[in-house]
């Protein structure tokens, strides 16, 4: 995974190569984790889709064209899952705030509790003595990737067998996964813990691991905790209320504009810029915002390469910025006379938090933050209010609205 180039061209090449396997081969083989270098039944497109170096619409369209809606059903559903999680977190931003606040508290505890720090360090270093878990920890750090089934087993063992705080595990993933985004990572860990679908935690079972690693790992039953209940008692008030989707300010034609490119969406060339008076452009390195702890070099280098590729394809001269002092965003735009900053939509997560922190400085300078939204997101997010079943029921309508009927 770490050898994949962080470019649109590399992502599209990977997409084309996987098209023949998007049908029944994917449906039948996607759950088996064959290990590093052998992930052939899954697409490995997630780092590209996460940054929109490859678009969800292109992946789904390719699957439908090659295999038809029945045989491509599982692949299409898995692509839509990422959009569902993003929409769900947009509708319940309180869950993201709770995660960040809880992570801060867990890290503070980690600093005081030597035994906990020892146990967490062993888990992250792949030194627990549980062969499958240790192999996955090593693969994650070395490659920036884990098979989706392995992610669920790993999270379940972290929480229920090792008894470690789930947010510290989610943070470990977020710091190392090339495809990590706030929604999929946070909600995936919550789902395993029984907090997303409340009262239904995901158990890591010895027989399941043996079957779906094709016998690479054969843990004994007594090595894994029996999961009888999740962590729902830690959130006695239940899930927060669903909120309306936040309103988006669209760009104003003719106004002096600063173009901001982030790795939330690296295909700014897809949006119409012809009516904008673009005075400046910048790429914003924001990967370090994922965690208070140091980020994997693999993640940072992939972000850097993706942004460089985005600028080259957009055909703009740009400066490089780091998401450090939020007030610096307003200074950058104001120095060129821009009165609006335009960027593709930034979903709930660390970069959204940083932009929110920058808002007072932008307002003071008379600068409006404007966003482009994609039809893919606006088609899925209105349905992302509960479990995935509601989204699944509306897939024909979603595909139609996204122009894929």
List, as one string, the DSSP characters of 255-279: SEEEEEE-TT---GGGS--TT-EEE
pLDDT digits (tens, 9 = 90+) for 255-297: 999 999 999 999 999 999 999 999 999 999 999 999 999 999 9
pLDDT at 103: 98
What's the mean pLDDT when you consider all of the chain? 96
Name which CATH class applies to 256-373. alpha beta
Helix axes 166-176, 182-193, angle to 10 degrees: 150
Burial class (CB in 10 A: 0-12, 13-18, 19+), 207: exposed
Q: What is the 3-state secondary structure (H, E, C) of the chain?
A: CCCCCCCHHHHHHHHHHHHHHCCHHHHHHCCCCCCCCCCCCCCCCHHHHHCCCCCHHHHHHHHHHHHHHHHCHHHHHHHHHHHHHHHHHHHCHHHHHHHHHHHHHHHHHHHHCHHHHHHHHHHHHCCCCCHHHHHHHHHHHHHCCCCHHHHHHHHHHHHHHCCCCHHHHHHHHHHHCCCCCHHHHHHHHHHHHCCCCCCCCCCCCHHHHHHHCCCCCCCCHHHCCCCCCCCHHHCCCCCCCCCCCCCCCCCCCCCEEEEEECCCCCCHHHCCCCCCEEEEEEEEECHHHHCCCCCCHHHHHHHHHHHHHHHHHHCCCCEEEECCCCHHHHHHHHCCCCCEEEEECCCCCHHHHHHHHHHHHHHHCCCEEEEECCHHHHHHHHHCCCCHHHHHHCHHHHHHHCCCC
pLDDT at 56: 98
Q: Are 59 and 45 in contact (CB under 8 A)?
A: yes
Half-sphere exposure of 208 (CA within 13 A, CB side): 12
pLDDT at 238: 87
pLDDT at 128: 98
What distance in Å separates the CA atoms of residue 260 and residue 280, rounded to the nearest whole number?
9
Name which CATH class applies to 93-234. mainly alpha
Query: What percentage of the chain carries pLDDT values higher than 70?
Result: 100
Tokens representing 93 are 């931003």
Mean pLDDT, residues 137-165 taken together? 98
Mean pLDDT, residues 360-378 taken together? 97
Reduce the DSSP state of residue 281 to 3 states and report it: strand
Mean pLDDT, residues 361-373 taken together? 97
Name which CATH class applies to 8-90+379-401. mainly alpha
pLDDT digits (tens, 9 = 90+) for 213-236: 999 999 999 999 999 999 999 988
pLDDT at 4: 82
Helix (H) or strand (E) holding 284: strand 277-285
pLDDT digits (tens, 9 = 90+) for 22-40: 999 999 999 999 999 999 9
pLDDT digits (tens, 9 = 90+) for 158-215: 999 999 999 999 999 999 999 999 999 999 999 999 999 888 999 999 999 999 999 9
What distance in Å separates the CA atoms of residue 369 and residue 258, rounded to the nearest whole number?
10
How much is the pTM? 0.96
pLDDT at 1: 56
Which pLDDT band holds residue 237 (cuts at 50, 70, 90)?
A: confident
Domain ranges of the chain: 8-90+379-401, 93-234, 256-373
pLDDT at 2: 57
pLDDT at 367: 98
> What is the DSSP track for 155-171?
HHIIIIIS---HHHHHH
Residue 379 has pLDDT above 70, yes or no: yes
Count of Cβ atoms closer than 10 Å to residue 282 Cβ: 21
pLDDT digits (tens, 9 = 90+) for 297-315: 999 999 999 999 999 999 9
Q: In whole angstroms, how far apart are CA 377 and each of 129, 382, 389, 398, 399?
A: 43, 9, 17, 9, 11
């Amino acid at each position: 995974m770490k050898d994949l180039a962080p470019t649109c061209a590399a992502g599209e090449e990977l997409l084309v190569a996987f098209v023949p396997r998007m049908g029944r081969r994917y449906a039948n083989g996607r759950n088996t984790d064959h290990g590093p270098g052998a992930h052939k039944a899954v697409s490995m497109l997630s780092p590209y889709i996460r940054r929109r170096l490859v678009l969800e619409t292109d992946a789904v369209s390719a699957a439908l064209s090659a295999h038809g809606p029945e045989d491509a059903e599982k692949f299409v559903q898995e692509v839509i899952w990422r959009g569902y999680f993003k929409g769900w977190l947009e509708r319940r931003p309180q869950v993201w705030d709770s995660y960040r606040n809880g992570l801060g508290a867990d890290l503070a505890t980690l600093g005081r509790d030597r035994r906990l720090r020892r146990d967490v360090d062993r888990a992250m270093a792949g030194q627990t003595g549980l062969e499958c878990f240790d192999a996955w920890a090593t693969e994650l750090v070395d490659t920036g990737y884990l098979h989706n089934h392995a992610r669920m087993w790993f999270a379940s063992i972290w929480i229920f067998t090792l008894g470690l705080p789930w947010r510290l595990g989610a943070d470990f993933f977020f710091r190392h996964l090339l495809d990590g985004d706030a929604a999929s990572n946070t909600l995936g860990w919550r789902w395993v813990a029984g907090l997303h679908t409340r009262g239904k935690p995901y158990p890591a079972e010895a027989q399941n691991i043996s079957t779906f690693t094709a016998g690479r790992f054969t843990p004994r039953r007594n090595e894994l905790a029996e999961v009888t209940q999740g962590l729902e008692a830690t959130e006695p008030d239940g899930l927060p209320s669903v909120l309306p989707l936040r309103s988006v300010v669209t760009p104003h034609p003719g106004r002096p504009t600063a173009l901001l490119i982030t790795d939330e969406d690296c295909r700014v060339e897809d949006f119409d810029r012809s009516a904008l008076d673009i005075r400046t452009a910048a790429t914003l390195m924001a990967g370090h915002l994922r965690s208070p702890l140091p980020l994997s070099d693999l993640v940072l280098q992939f972000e850097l390469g993706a942004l460089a590729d985005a600028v080259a394809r957009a055909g703009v001269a740009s400066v490089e910025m780091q998401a450090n002092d939020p007030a610096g965003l307003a200074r950058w735009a104001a120095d060129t006379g821009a009165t609006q900053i335009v960027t593709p939509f930034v979903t709930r997560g660390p970069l959204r938090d940083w932009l929110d922190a920058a808002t007072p400085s932008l307002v003071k300078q008379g600068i409006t933050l404007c966003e482009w939204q994609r039809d893919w997101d606006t088609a899925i997010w209105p349905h992302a209010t509960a479990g995935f079943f509601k989204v699944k029921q509306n897939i024909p309508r979603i595909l139609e609205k996204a122009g894929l009927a």
